[in-house]
């Protein structure tokens, strides 16, 4: 019971953290588009993409490795904190230097390059905070991450919107991002000093061993982050910042689901790592449950974007974004496959098959990039959307194949039956709403309310019916 409560608590903490991040990013994207226009949004998203890529290269490999190792060897937590932070600091400086060189060599305007340099500084505090967050995750104290980050995310977006109202440009938003991530790092260190006893000593042998152990993780994360932003990079080089802004606006509409999916799987990862020795049946049960939960969210969202994608783009941004409706529908295909790829990715790492993840990202990024250059050259915005969906399909195929051959087959019917029922009910609602053609804000309210109602009834039915649930509450009372 305690384990189940801890899993729910950690999942909710990560969801709150990621949702706050997603919602504030969503609000900021809409504010930039409405206040400064699509081209300025493109400059911001391009700079953020370079920051995201190079911070991922510098830190995400260590974060995944530290989470797994500390979960199995908690007595070494202080060594991972101090020596790991030392190693991470070196990597973040090297990564920022690489960012500056790459941006300098590419044919961007001086303003766009300057924005990239300023925002890129955020690599340093963000990379260092990944070490503390790995410890919080491994110890299943993920509520501490939410405590440190959520208030800062909210404050940050308010300051950024205020700065835009005062006619400050995108470069100031980059500076605000840097200072806010530095504040998060300070708060997390205050929290972690109360959680563990710190031994202020750098173990150089440990650092060297970590470098050797983390090579595969670094390669996986480096290629993964490039893969996640490759569409924006190709659009910036073969198109322009305006197209980057349109594509970024489309991607932002998918972010709430991606954030939730990542939060749930991150919360699941320590549990999967601990049950590896208990047999594959337990792992299969956890894996299938999480894929099912994510599909219950992903399938209705996919259907909603097919029916009302254009209305949503205009509602959130402005009429200039309506031309991205077809690209949004194509990009939304990923919502059906990401529940599998995110969950199976962590399943394989928990079983020490990270080499499979490395192989997947190399193949997916290579094939996707080659196809993307041709697609974006020919179809511009739509080509970037097709490229994104194609890469998701390639990744999905590999994860399913290797999970089946190395671990266990998934019971697909058990996974999809409840998501299919919810999806069919929501499809009926969408068809009716499309027919009667209400104001979009009212359509949105009805759709969300219907979804909550259907999921609630499905949950009650799964638990044994309304009588069983009420009986449980009466007993507790």
pLDDT, tens digit, 9 for 90 and up, residues 82-109: 888 888 899 899 999 999 999 999 988 8
pLDDT band at 6 (very low <50, low <70, confident <90, very high): low
- C-alpha distances (whole Å) from 106 to each of 68, 100, 113, 114, 266 are 37, 10, 9, 13, 35
Rounded Cα distance, 32 and 170, in Å: 9
Match 């511009």 to its residue by tokens.
380
Query: Which residues are CB-contacts of 359 (< 8 A; sequence separation ≥ 6)?
Result: 398
Query: Shortest CA distance to 348 belongs to which of 64, 124, 62?
Result: 64
Q: What is the per-residue pLDDT across 29-74, written as a single tens digit (0 to 9) for each?
A: 889 988 888 888 889 999 999 998 888 887 766 777 777 777 777 7
Query: Which two three-digit tokens encode residue 32?
Result: 């930039």
- Could you tell me how far CA 199 lies from the centroid of its own chain? 33
Sign of the torsion angle spanned by Cα atoms 261, 264, 270, 272? negative
Query: Which two three-digit tokens encode residue 163?
Result: 């700065």
Query: Shortest CA distance to 430 belongs to which of 440, 420, 419?
Result: 440
pTM: 0.72
Q: What is the per-residue pLDDT across 121-174, written as a single tens digit (0 to 9) for each?
A: 999 999 899 888 888 887 777 788 888 999 999 999 999 999 999 989 899 999
pLDDT band at 196 (very low <50, low <70, confident <90, very high): confident
Rounded Cα distance, 261 and 19, in Å: 10
């Amino acid at each position: 019971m305690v384990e189940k409560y801890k899993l729910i608590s950690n999942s909710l903490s990560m969801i709150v953290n990621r949702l706050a991040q997603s919602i504030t990013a969503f609000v900021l994207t809409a504010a930039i588009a409405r206040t400064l226009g699509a081209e300025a949004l493109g400059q911001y998203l391009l700079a953020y993409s370079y920051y995201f890529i190079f911070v991922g290269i510098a830190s995400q490999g260590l974060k995944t490795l530290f989470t797994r190792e500390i979960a199995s060897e908690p007595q070494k937590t202080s060594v991972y904190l101090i020596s790991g932070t030392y190693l991470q600091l070196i990597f973040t400086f090297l990564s920022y230097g690489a960012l500056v060189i790459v941006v300098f060599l590419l044919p961007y305007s001086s303003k766009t390059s300057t924005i990239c340099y300023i925002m890129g500084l955020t690599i340093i505090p963000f990379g260092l905070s990944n070490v503390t967050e790995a410890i919080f995750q491994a110890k299943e104290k993920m509520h501490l991450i939410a405590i440190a980050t959520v208030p800062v995310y909210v404050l940050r977006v308010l300051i950024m919107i205020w700065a835009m109202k005062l006619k400050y440009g995108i470069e100031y938003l980059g500076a605000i991002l840097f200072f806010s991530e530095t504040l998060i790092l300070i708060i997390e260190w205050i929290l972690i000093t109360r959680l563990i006893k710190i031994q202020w000593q750098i173990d150089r042998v440990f650092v060297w061993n970590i470098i050797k152990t983390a090579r595969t993780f670094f390669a996986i994360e480096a290629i993964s982050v490039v893969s996640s932003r490759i569409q924006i990079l190709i659009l910036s080089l073969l198109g322009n910042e305006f197209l980057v802004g349109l594509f970024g606006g489309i991607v932002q509409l998918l972010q709430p689901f991606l954030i939730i999916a990542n939060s749930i799987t991150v919360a699941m990862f320590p549990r999967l790592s601990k049950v590896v020795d208990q047999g594959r049946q337990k792992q299969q049960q956890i894996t299938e449950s999480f894929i099912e939960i994510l599909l219950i969210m992903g399938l209705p969202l996919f259907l909603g974007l097919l029916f009302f994608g254009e209305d949503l783009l205009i509602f959130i941004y402005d009429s200039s974004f309506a031309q991205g409706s077809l690209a949004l529908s194509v990009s939304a295909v990923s919502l059906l496959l990401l529940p599998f790829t995110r969950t199976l990715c962590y399943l394989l790492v928990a079983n020490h098959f990270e080499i499979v993840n490395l192989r997947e990202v190399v193949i997916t990024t290579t094939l996707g990039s080659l196809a993307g250059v041709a697609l974006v050259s020919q179809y511009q915005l739509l080509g970037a959307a097709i490229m994104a969906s194609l890469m998701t399909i390639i990744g999905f195929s590999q994860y399913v194949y290797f999970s089946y051959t190395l671990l266990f087959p998934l019971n697909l019917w058990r996974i999809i039956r409840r998501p299919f029922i919810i999806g069919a009910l929501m499809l009926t609602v969408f068809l009716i709403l499309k027919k009667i053609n209400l104001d979009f804000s009212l359509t949105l309210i009805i759709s969300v309310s219907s979804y909550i109602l259907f999921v609630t009834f499905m949950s009650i039915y799964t638990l044994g019916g309304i009588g069983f649930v009420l009986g449980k509450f009466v007993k507790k009372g």
